[in-house]
Structure 1
Amino acid sequence: MSTSDVQLTAGMRNNLLLLQKTNKQVESIQNRLATGNKVNSALDGPTNFFAAKGLSVRAGDLSKLKESMGQSISTIQAGDKGITAIESLVEQAKGLTTTAYGNLGTDAASIATRKSLAEQFNRIKDQIDKIARDSGYQGKNLLVGNGLTLDSTAESRAKVNSINGLSNSRVTNVVSADTYSIRVSGTGAISADLEDIAKAEDARGITSLKVSGTLSSTAGNFSDISIQMRGNAGRERTLVVTENGESRTVKFFDNTQSATAANVTAGKSGVAQVSKITIGGAIEKGDTFTATVNGQAFTYTAVDEDVTSAVPAERRAAIAEKLRDIVDNAVGGGTGATGRFSIADLDEDNDGTIEGFTITSSETTGTGVSFAVGATTTNAAEKAVSISFSSGTVVTFTVDRKALEDLGTAANGTSTIEKNVDLTVSATNLNGVTIERSGNNARGAGKLSDGENSLAFDSGTVRFEVDSSVLKQAASANLSNNLITVQRTDANTENDLTVQFNENNTSTISVASQNIQTDGQGLRLDYAQNGFLDRSDIDKAVASLDFATSRLRSTSQALSTNLNVIQTRETFTSEFSNVLTEGSNKLIQADQNEEGANLLLLQTRQQLGTISLSLANQAQQAILRLF
């Protein structure tokens, strides 16, 4: 031992050791009070430390899962909001079909209204798809389906489009793969709706109305025919026949034809009377001209050969010659004539065009020196009309003058006649089901028309654009081709939502994504067919809306059930995490009151230790008093 070492007495050393021990205890309690934990490391208590750490780690893992559950709840809520919006659009679409049912007439206004409603229906359908695609949340969209898609092949569409008069062929609302044989048939013979013809005859004052012909292979159309009457009784009438913007105008019963009688030279003793009959105005077939000589009437009615020329003067000359011959053969120098008069052509203008004829008495004395002459004319009793259009349509009818005079202005107006064409486009699927649209069908009953036509099967809706101007070419060649639908993509689970409920991933729930788009794998809500032309087209739209409503409700119920489960587990996880945290705290946290009391006690011990050490030191100092 070094001579510099200080030697403490046993009493002082014991007091010092006790004081050091008390200080350590004070530091330990102060640390507990500062941290709030009685176990701050494995050295403080390995059993409690590691048990508490396990509980706190598990509580932390569950807290993270709770956050994931919250995001999953938001994903489901996003889908639910999308379904709610889509249900609102479906209700709007149902309102459109109700309005369409209320406008089922075959008049132009009702057809236009239904077409407009069909266009609005299609816009709503497009918006449903957009809402479904916009309902995703953080990369998951529960409304865009399982990924399975079916569509027609490009090759088969090209083959169908190669048929004359067909284009833009496709299959929409594909529910299952199928093959459709598309065929064009028919003769192209043209006819008309008999009821429309009868109504037009009664309303317009015409008879024997007929629509016939054969559809042109280069300029055909399915357009209706309109017949418009204008004018008034006793005046010129005008009739306009129109098809697809191509019009023909016919004028008749104009009352402008004339037949006049006048004396050129008065008869007197020694002078023979000379009179003339003059034909004037516009002449039509059926116009009647009468010349009277001494009360004897001579009548001629214009026929086709008299009105072949478009030059009015030539028509008048033809009538003058025919009436002249009749008079000449009766009272002039013609065969079998009495010879009392001489008949000669009248050319007052000396231009070579006959305007009428003269009648000269053969007697210059006595009572025969003069005679009575007169001339009258009447309109044709009827007029036969034949009109041809570039489409191949021929419209023929007879205008009845008496019927028109009886109707007066009531005959004015327009009659529409539905045109029928013997052309049919049909599709037959693999099950042997055939659906067709024909130009011979009545309007509102599957009538073929220009533009888009739709044929609805259980497996999908066949659509194509029709061009009536050249469709007959395909019918004449009896052309057909197959339109084939196949599966394009496989089903997948990329939008399915899996939610983990515990830290070791042994408890989960999977929320399957649903296809709430309008395709055949989803809501099966197709575009409006044929512009709602037929009641059956509206019926199909209503049926698809009913299916969509049912699908939306079942999907909403499934999402709601999953949402309730996840929300329940989220609440459980939150509460259970609190239990774990509380248990962990029980193992390591210090009792502040107890530790405070301990600290007070140790501080007292420190003071007592200090005093004891001081007393022991005083015992050493007493030795100094001996010196």
Structure 2
Amino acid sequence: MSGIVLSASVRQNLLSLQSTADLLATTQNRLSTGKSVNSALDNPTNFFTAQSLDNRASDINNLLDGIANGVQVLQAANTGLTSLQKLIDSAKSIANQALQTTVGYSTKSNVSTTIAGATAADLRGTTSFASAIASSNVLYDGTAGGTHAATSAITLGATQGVNTGATATAGDGTTALSAGITLIASGAATATGLVGNAQPADGDTLTVNGKTITFRLGAAPAAAAVPSGSGFSGNIVTDGSGNSTVYLGTSGTPAATVGDLATAIDLASGVKVATISAGAATISTSAGATPSDVGTTTASKVTLRSSTGADLSVTGKADLLKALGLSTASGGGNASLSVTRTTSAASLGQLIQDGSALNVDGHTITFKNAPVPGSAGAPAIPTGSGKSGNVITDGNGNSIVYLQAGTVADVLNAIDLATGVQTASIAANGTATLSTATGQSASSINTSGQLRIATGINADLSITGSGNVLNALGLAGNTGSANAFQAARTSGIGGIAGKTLTFGSFNGGTAVKVTFGDGTNGTVKTLDQLNTQLQANNLAATIDANGQLTITASNDYASSTLGSTTAGGAIGGTLTSALTFSTASTPIQDAVAQTARANLVSQYNNILNQIDTTSQDSSFNGVNLLNGDQLKLVFDETAKSSLNITGVTYNSKGLGLASLTVGVDFIDNAAANKVLTNLNAASSTLRSEASALGSNLSVVQVRQDFNKNLINVLQTGSSNLTLADTNVEAANSQALSTRQSIAVSALSLANTSQQSVLQLLR
């Protein structure tokens, strides 16, 4: 080859063609690889720099898998924490059920003592009570003008009311009405009987002051046939309480007369009274009363009179009342008439209604329109009761005041018997001797007309009433509408005033020292004040109606015994020497409640088992951060940037939770609260760990995103150093191809000149 001689032009063209070919090859290589630097020969600096960047990006990319696994480990731990928190909440629910279920003890430990006279409002009790005086409104008598003060001698009854009817005749229209006229006529002889349409029929009734007069055909029964408790007198059978049956006889033999009817009305009104013995009734006029009459006071006229103890009200067949001249109404329907008593200087201005009653400190005082038993013509005094004035008392504080002759003094005596200010000694003959209790003063009425009622020492005064008696006696308050009259006794100094009561710390509570007093300057007077001080020592107090004060362990410590070595709460203070306290009782379990609590213990222990298995299952790829494992994450290729996460052991023991024991745990509220305290601590631990895991997870995710972005930066930097500009390289390729074609043409031309020389040699 060295022997070949090329011309300068050929050699130059050949060199140009070789150079173009080399450049074209380089351009084509760049186009095919996309890189301008494909080897260290192309650009050593850029090649090795880019290679270093790519290597680092590759190293960091290799770390991303580990970081991704670390994220999942943290997610698994967080999922486990969430489940554990739910299990803890379930355990709390069980503990709260224990708090809400029936206390596990039917009787809690307690000590008690009785304080005489103590109440919830004043625990000091009393050594004595003094009788206080309560004043009524002013009472007035019946003097005209209504402003004259009443006195103790003023009567409860008043002057009889009188109603004289119009002139009346027998059924013939001409015979004057008299007591002997029969209520029914004999055949057509109406001159001896009432007119036909006025005659009562069998079963007709007349109502007098709420009492019933019944008309019956036929003769009055014999004594043996009279109903038990009733008695007969002539044509009348009466029950002794004002209810009567008038026997009319028959049309052939009329019996009952207008006079009999007047007697029956008087029996019902209280003007007359019947004493019953062996089926017979002895009828007499009440003391001081004038009976009703027919034609005696005024010829041919019926005169009806009320009693002194009640106004008269009569309702009956209109035709009958018209025939008696007592009504202008006629017909078979009812008509009514009334006779009102007349008040005077001797009687109360406002009269007490028959049947009214007072309830005084639980005792009953009844006001009755009748002559007092034991008086002339009146029934005998009931067995076991006694008479004093116009009052019949049973000796136990219950009395009946008889209105016909009763006085304000009698009412005051009856009230004093009810309050205990006076007592009644009942003799065998029915006489009641009243005496005033030692140190007390009987109730009275002052010169202003006010009742001065002694409360007595047995109880605070409480008077309620029915009928109009509260108003009539001035006991209905200033407005006259009050339904009770009350007054308190004067109480003596508290029996335990100044005494102290102490309790040592009971189950970790605050020791108590109580001084009883008037409730000021730190002293205790009321039950509420005592409980306020006992509460901090897990104790509570109650008091019953007999003054028995009981100090009891609270529900939280129902299983503890007061004063025991383990619980504390020993009692002391000066009160224990003044009063006798019971020995602290041992709490008594409630079998049903304890069974329910034992079931809750079992449920709780099942939850702990689930906590253990959940913590063990919270792993990913063999790493469990809730079971004591550790997690190390490397973030860069030099391992200088890393994160070490130390795991925790969050099974039941790791969370500070222990299995419960039946008969020990949940037995009272304190045991349940202890478990709740541990559960709350475990819940706080889980939340703290969840926060730490969340923080670590955030760090890992930030570094994961950082590494991804850094890889992109490194790869972009590497590409910037080695990548070719395809647009430029394509243009270069096109230009080199043209250049190569021109070089080939030039070489051909150079070779053509040598061919010309060869032709010459031929």
Structure 1 length-normalised TM: 0.42
Structure with bigger strand share is 1
1 or 2 for the larger relative contact order (CA 8 Å, sep ≥6)? 1
- Larger Rg, first or second structure (1 or 2): 2
More helix, by proportion: 1
TM-score by length of 2: 0.35
